[in-house]
Structure 1
């Protein structure tokens, strides 16, 4: 897999406690979720992103598990998984000082979403 170094550096800020060797694996896990499940990417605010996912229990479980692990090493993230009216969405919020991390996440998710 070819990775964009600039995005990867924005993805893992100094506040991240995930061991450096594990960071590319986590990025790959997010990339796989984005490729398999993201339908649309909506930037609701500079610090808030909404990912509309393909509805299904497997995508909900995968997004929840990945969000929980990511929050364990980058506690500045707030993830909200919403399952309602036959839809599935993952909202990601960060404090203003980590907007560049959300920018990188939005760009990666957008690149994987259908045109």
Structure 2
């Protein structure tokens, strides 16, 4: 796993990190419709509405171990997930954005 993806501030046990990464990969592969990197601190994702439960669960668990993330989920016919980080954690957002399908 890329070290920029899981910073020292992450409290998720190291052994569990590849599984979390795989969950994000699966979410992106199955449900991502669009991704826009707004700026160094902000990533906007458009997802299939069927993914709401998965997104809510995954982002809640990610916030528990990496509390610097802010996930804002809106929309019904399409889901919009805004991911923001503080200026000191832009490398982590780079890591997440690097997982997006090309």
Q: Hey, what's the Cα distance between the residues in 2 that align with 1:12 and 1:88?
A: 25
The root-mean-square deviation of aligned C-alpha atoms, in Å, is: 1.1
Q: For 1:35, what is the secondary structure of its paired residue? A: helix
> Of the candidates 88, 95, 98, which is equivalent to residue 104 of structure 1?
95
Unpaired runs of at least 5, structure 2:
none
| TM-score using structure 2 length | 0.94
Aligned residue pairs total 102
SS of alignment partner, residue 9 of structure 1: coil
Report deviation, 1:45.
1.6
Give structure 1 stretches of 5+ with no counterpart: none
Matched, 1:34 2:25: no
The offset of 1:104, in angstroms, is 1.1
TM-score (norm 1): 0.84
- The partner residue of 1:64 within 23, 43, 56 is 56
1:44-59 equivalence runs, <5 A: 44-56=38-50, 59=51
Deviation at 1:9, TM superposition (A): 1.4
Which digits, 9 at most, give the CA deviation of each residue in 1:55-112, with x for residues without a partner? 22xx01101100000000000000001114x221111000011001101111212xx2
